[in-house]
Copies of this chain bind each other. A is one copy, B any other.
Amino acid sequence: MHFLTLSTPDLDAAREFYVRGLGWDPLLDVPGEILFFQTGPGTVLGLFDAGKFAADLGVPDASPARGVTLAHNVDSEEAVRAAVGAMTAAGGTVRTAPRPGAFGGIYHAHVADPNGVVWEIAHNPGWRVDDDGTVHLG
């Protein structure tokens, strides 16, 4: 997977949150159209204007992205709480406060961006990544 593209009703609010609030550096920013960020090695997140997203797919429905969470893993439970604080300060909305997850010793929280895109901030002791990018779970 090289790009993840999300239907985004309010690109200006997204820019305010990610760029001004969280300090992310866009890979490309085409106002009114699309905002790209690199989110990992070889991986790009595209926030695509909802109307243009729908037109590109040939559908009438310009609904925002739903039923998707983007997870960012951090090193400790304390780091989960710190990241949630930073996202809230930037204008994010807490959906679930930091708490133990259902399985795997996970400790996590969910924070929505201004378009309702949900980030899961997690400490997952069973997750590790080798230097070559190979992921191990559990």
Could you tell me which A residues sit within 8 Å of B by CB distance?
1-7, 27-28, 36, 38-45, 50, 52-53, 56-58, 63-73, 95-96, 101-102, 110, 118, 120, 122, 127, 129, 132-135, 137-138
Contact = CB atoms under 8 A, between A and B. Distances in A.
Nearest to A7: B67
A6 B6 CA distance: 12
Assembly stoichiometry (copies): 2
B56 A1 contact: no
Contact of A69 (B5, B44, B95): B5
Contact of A68 (B41, B42, B65, B127): B65
Given A5-B69, A67-B7, A96 B57 contact: yes
12 contacts: A2-B71, A3-B71, A4-B68, A5-B68, A5-B69, A5-B71, A5-B120, A6-B67, A27-B137, A40-B42, A43-B43, A66-B66
Interface of chain A, main secondary structure: strand
Contacts of A52: 102
A41 B39 CA distance: 11
Given A42-B41, A57-B118, A68 B138 contact: no
